[in-house]
Amino acid sequence: MDDLFDSGPKQLGFDMGDSTPMRALEPDRDVIRAELDEILATAQAATDTLPWDERTFRYHKVVFPQMARWLPDDQRDQLCFDFAREVERLEQLLAA
Report which of residues 5 and 35 the model is more confident about.
Answer: 35
65 in a domain, yes or no? Answer: yes
Is pTM beyond 0.85 here?
A: no
Count of domains for the chain? 1
User: What confidence tens digit (pLDDT) does each residue in 4-16 have?
Assistant: 655 555 555 565 6
Distance separating alpha carbons of residues 88 and 5, to the nearest angstrom: 60
Q: Of 9-13, 18-22, 29-33, 86-90, which gets the smallest average pLDDT? A: 9-13
| H or E element that contains 53 | none
68 in a domain, yes or no? Answer: yes
User: What confidence tens digit (pLDDT) does each residue in 65-86 have?
Assistant: 999 999 999 999 999 999 999 9
Q: What is the pLDDT of residue 94?
A: 85
61 in a domain, yes or no? Answer: yes
Range of the domain at 88: 29-95
Asked whether the predicted pLDDT for residue 93 surpasses 80, the reply is: yes
Q: Is 57 exposed, middle or buried (0-12, 13-18, 19+ CB in 10 A)?
A: middle
